[in-house]
Amino acid sequence: MLQDRFGVSERRACKVVGQHRSTQRLDAPVPPDDEAELRDFLRRFAKRRPRWGWRRAAKELRRDGWQINNKRVRRLWRDEGLQVPTKTKKKRLTGVGTHVGAMSLIAPNALWALDFQFDHTIDHRQVKLLNVIDEFTRECLAIRVDHSITADDVVAVLDRLAIERGRAPAFLRFDNGPEFVAMVVAEWCAANGTECVFIDPGSPW
């Protein structure tokens, strides 16, 4: 270099040859391209451990001596489409009497479904509606409307319907609302030979 040969400064040497001083700065060594090797490792890891995610893969890499951060592992993991599939939580019928017969409706009065709806009057007061439907005929058996409906009110509606229709249903389906899980409702079901099928609130089945 001119600096070494003639003992001049870098500034002077660059001026003589017409080069900018920045051209004299050497870039840092470029590390070898390990992308392909990393991707191959992640694919093999995902195949070997299908229920493990990128965090476990990152730990394995560091255990094997790789100097790598989580951000890079996560990026490559997603690029390769290796996300662990999310488990779909199946809704399960719970409670007393989750008998398969409740799912096989063959006649009227086999199963009555109860649920609540809410609305407001013109003066903005909330009203509550108790709906009772025969699941086989899809007939609306009753609609009770009031500002408040308790478990005792639910039983009163069921008593009236059982008398009108000559029998109680084999099954009652409703959610786990306090009006339905109350002891008085359970006692009515036990006294009338009716089984309860509980579902998650808001679920259509």
For the stretch 94-149, pLDDT in tens is 444 444 444 445 788 888 988 888 888 888 888 999 999 998 888 999 999 998 99
* Per CATH, domain 100-199 is 1.10.274.10: no
* Claim: this prediction has a pTM higher than 0.75: no
Each residue of 68-90: pLDDT tens digit? 888 988 888 888 888 766 555 54
Is the distance from CB of 145 to CB of 165 less than 8 angstroms? no
Nearest to 117 by CA among 135, 129, 127: 129
pLDDT attached to residue 9: 63
For the chain, the average pLDDT equals 77
Q: How far apart are CA 195 and CA 111, in angstroms?
A: 9
Residue 176: pLDDT band by 50, 70, 90 thresholds? confident
Q: How far apart are CA 148 and CA 115, in angstroms?
A: 14
In the predicted model, is pLDDT for residue 39 greater than 50? yes
Mean pLDDT of 176-201: 80
pLDDT attached to residue 157: 93
Domain boundary assignment for the chain: 31-86, 100-199
